[in-house]
A and B are shown apart, each in its own frame.
Chain A
Amino acid sequence: MTTQRTSGRRKQALAAAAAVAALLTTAACGGGGDDNGGSKNGAAGFDAANNKVAQASAVKKGGTLKFGGAQDADSWDTTRGYYGFMWNFARYYSRQLVTGKTEPGKGGAQLTPDLATGLAKVTDGGKTYTYTLRDGVTWEDGKPITSKDVKYGIERVWAQDVLSGGPTYLKEVLDPKGEYKGPYKDTSADKLGLKAIDTPDDKTIVFHLPQANSDFEEILALVSASPVRQDKDTKSKYGLKPFSSGPYKFESYSPGKSLTLTRNTSWKQASDPVRKAYPDKITVTFFSNANELDQRLLNGDLDLDINQTGMSPQGRTTALKQHKANLDNPVSGYIRYAVFPQSVKPFDNEHCRKAVIYGADHVSLQTARGGPVAGGDIGTNMLPPSVPGAEGQKYDPYELAGANKSGNVAKAKEELKACGQPNGFSTTIAVRNNKPVEVATAQSLQASLKKVGINAQIDQYDGSQTAGIIGSPSNVKKKGYGIIIMGWGPDFPTVQGFGLPLWDSKYILQSGNNNYALINDKAIDGLFSQYVTTLDDAGKEKIATQINHKVMEGGYYLPFVFEKFINWRSDRLANVYTTDNYSGMYDFVNLGLKSAS
Chain B
Amino acid sequence: MLTYLIRRLFAAAVMLVVIITVVFCIFFLVPKWAGVDIASSFVGKQADPAAVEGVRQKLGLGDPIYVQVWEFFKGIFVGRTYAGGGDTIHCAAPCFGYSFRSEQAIWPVLTDRFPVTLGLALGAAVLWLILGVSAGVLSALKRGSLWDRGAMVVALAGVSLPIYFTGMLSLAIFVFGLHWFSGTYVPFTDNPGKWFTGMILPWVTLAFLYAAMYARITRATMMEILGEDYIRTARAKGLREPVVIRKHAMRSTMTPILTMLGMDLGALIGGAILTESTFNLPGLGREVLLAIRNQDLPVIVGVTLITSLAVLFANLVVDILYAVIDPRVRLT
Contact = CB atoms under 8 A, between A and B. Distances in A.
B48 A160 contact: yes
Contacts of B31: 465, 468
A276 to B, nearest CB: 30
Contact of A289 (B38, B42, B277, B282): B277
A467 B47 contact: yes
A20 B173 CA distance: 7
Interface in A1-43: 18-20, 22-23, 26
B295 interface: yes
B40 A288 contact: no
A468 B177 contact: no
B37 A472 contact: yes
A509 interface: yes
Contacts of A72: 290
Contacts, number: 160
Interface string B15-46: 00000000000000001000111101111111
A465 B42 contact: no
B44 A82 contact: yes
A512 B46 contact: yes
B51 A165 contact: yes
B280 A164 contact: no
B289 interface: yes
Nearest to B98: A236
B147 interface: no
Interface string A458-470: 0000101111110
Interface string B66-106: 00000000000000000011110100000000001111100
Contacts of B146: none
Contact of B47 (A161, A287, A292, A471): A471
| From B52, B86, B178, B287, residue with most partner A Cβ within 10 Å | B86
Interface in B160-182: 168-169, 171-174, 176-178
A511 B40 CA distance: 8
Contact of B85 (A26, A80, A159, A165): A159
Q: State which size class the interface on B falls in.
A: 35 or more
B247 interface: no
B78 to A, nearest CB: 22
A255 B102 contact: yes
B54 interface: yes
Nearest to B46: A168
Contacts of B278: 289, 292
B174 to A, nearest CB: 7
Interface string B177-193: 11000000000000000
B6 interface: no
| From B31, B85, B178, residue with most partner A Cβ within 10 Å | B85
A393 B40 CA distance: 36
B87 A236 contact: yes
Given A255-B102, A468-B38, A475-B35, A289 B280 contact: yes
B131 to A, nearest CB: 17
B117 to A, nearest CB: 13
Contact of B43 (A22, A26, A235, A467): A467
A221 to B, nearest CB: 18
A584 B235 CA distance: 78
A82 B45 contact: yes
B174 A74 contact: no
Given A161-B85, A467-B40, A511-B40, A292 B171 contact: yes
A478 B45 contact: no
A262 interface: no
A497 interface: no
A22 B170 CA distance: 12
Contacts of B168: 291-292
Contact of B172 (A23, A472, A509): A23
A240 interface: yes
Given A160-B48, A185-B86, A236-B89, A18 B40 contact: no
Can you list the 5 inter-chain pairs with the closest CB atoms, starting with the nearest?
A: A512-B47, A161-B54, A184-B86, A161-B85, A164-B51
14 contacts: A22-B178, A26-B172, A82-B46, A164-B51, A165-B43, A166-B44, A171-B48, A237-B103, A240-B103, A256-B282, A256-B290, A289-B277, A468-B38, A511-B40
